Amino acid sequence: MSVRKRRPDDMPDNSSKPPLTIRLCQPRGFCAGVDRAIQIVVLALKKYGAPVYVRHEIVHNRYVVEGLQNLGAVFVEELDEIPDEHHERPVVFSAHGVPKSVPADAQARNLFYLDATCPLVSKVHKQAMRHQRLGRHVLLIGHAGHPEVIGTMGQLPEGSVTLIENEADVAAFVPEDADALGFVTQTTLSVEDTAGLIRALRQRFPTLTAPAAESICYATTNRQEAVKETAVGADLFLVVGAPNSSNSRRLVEVAERAGAKMSLLVQRASEIPWQNIGAISTLGLSAGASAPEIIVDEIVNAFRERFDVRVDLAVTATETENFPVMSALRDVELTPSDMAFVNGTV
Ligand code: 0CH
Ligand code: SF4
């Protein structure tokens, strides 16, 4: 990990305030799949006008959802919530992916849909389908009820996939053929916990087949690694993210396990529980893959009001991933202010 100080002109004279070092994780915040998904909604609004329907929160972040609502996006949980008179309007599927029944339903209703499923989630779908095509029963490691899990299970015929959430599920699983099993996982799981579950599965089923490529994605892995390194000895670790954001919640757990004295998930600076924080001198700070950078800035500024803050950037990886949008939207141009929204800086 390399540590860089942020530019000195960021730092007002705070000599009367207690000193605080903020270890700011890099990478943090938006990943390439989130960036692409938000871009798809913005581009669709520009190309087709409002309203653009979005099935499920495009990513699990209220600030992003409200920003898109202000631009004319309308969020629904299911396609049947789209009023009949709006059936010619586009509908975008969220970054988390959808079961096969959803595009089929959209087609049956004559809806025009744009699928913003992250390409790395689609890759997991393909791996699961490949296991099944080759005659393997699929074990999906993930969290029940999460939209990505519903989407991945929904790629496969009923009865051909079993959800594994924990060691008890590993112990309880009784396969029809113990030598014809393959697994995939949700993309946003704890790297450490998942490795444990795979070990436990392999102990019971030594011929279990792994997917051809790792299911936990680069962004999840990098953000957890960064938190692991910066949380050691931190008095407090804050993760910017929503309670329904799987990847953000995993970061809070990683910080706690790595040795942060206290680790919390916050959606905005207004959620920081100042009365419980007490005297701290080191704060770790990161953001889930769906959390915009502007909220990280808001939190740093909230600490600046109370502490003499020094920000150390803790760089553990460099990310260059970029996922292009579908060809139907490539003829639309984004203005600098659209770009700032897509990048999470406004
Ligand atoms: O971490 P989850 O999957 O809950 O989703 P998010 O917080 O919206 O982050 C983006 C990931 C989307 C699909 O992998
Ligand atoms: Fe894609 Fe990973 Fe981001 Fe999910 S967290 S959208 S899988 S890059």
Residue 6 DSSP symbol: P
How are beta strands 236-240 and 52-55 bridged, if at all? unpaired
Q: Which of 85, 148, 192, 271 is catalytic?
A: 148
The two structure tokens encoding residue 266:
């916050």
**What's the pTM?**
0.95
pLDDT: is 259 or 8 the higher one?
259
Query: What CATH number belongs to 130-204?
Result: 3.40.1010.20
**Is residue 270 over pLDDT 60?**
yes
Residue 235 — pLDDT band, cuts 50, 70, 90?
very high
- The domains of the chain are located at 3-30+218-315, 32-118, 130-204
**Is residue 6 over pLDDT 60?**
no
User: Residue 6, exposed/middle/buried by CB under 10 A (0-12, 13-18, 19+)?
Assistant: middle
- Find out whether the beta carbon of 117 lies less than 6 Å from any atom of ligand 1: no
CATH architecture of 32-118: 3-Layer(aba) Sandwich (3.40)
The two structure tokens encoding residue 7:
């530019």
The alpha carbon of residue 309 and the mean position of all alpha carbons in its chain are separated, in whole angstroms, by 28
Centroid of ligand 2 to alpha carbon of 125 (angstroms): 13
| 3-state SS, residue 174 | coil
The two structure tokens encoding residue 61:
């972040």
User: Which residue shows structure tokens 């989130």?
Assistant: 34
Buried b (16+ CB within 10 A) or exposed e, 232-261: eebbbbbbbbbeebbbbbbbbbbbbebebe
Residue 280 — pLDDT band, cuts 50, 70, 90?
very high
Q: How far apart are CA 89 and CA 53, in angstroms?
A: 7
- Find out whether the beta carbon of 189 lies less than 6 Å from any atom of ligand 2: no
**Is residue 14 over pLDDT 80?**
no
Of 38-42, 126-130, 276-280, 315-319, give the lowest mean pLDDT range.
276-280
Q: Which of 38, 148, 189 to mutate to test the pocket of ligand 1 (most atoms within 8 A of CB)?
A: 148
Per-residue model confidence as pLDDT tens digits over 45-91: 999 999 999 999 999 999 999 999 999 999 999 999 999 999 999 99
Residue 13 — pLDDT band, cuts 50, 70, 90?
low
- The answer to whether residues 191 and 221 touch, using CB atoms and an 8 Å cutoff, is yes
Domains 3-30+218-315 and 32-118 belong to one CATH topology? no
| 3-state SS, residue 341 | helix
- Find out whether the beta carbon of 246 lies less than 6 Å from any atom of ligand 1: yes
Centroid of ligand 2 to alpha carbon of 240 (angstroms): 16
Ligand in nearest proximity to the CA of 36: 2
The atom of ligand 1 lying closest to the CA of 121 is: 14
333 is catalytic: no
Of 3.40.1010.20, 3.40.630.30, 3.40.605.10, 2.40.50.140, which CATH number belongs to 3-30+218-315? 3.40.1010.20
**Closest by CA position to 204, among listed 184, 168, 178:** 178
When pLDDT is averaged across residues 278-287 and rounded to a whole number, the result is 97
Residue 188 — pLDDT band, cuts 50, 70, 90?
very high
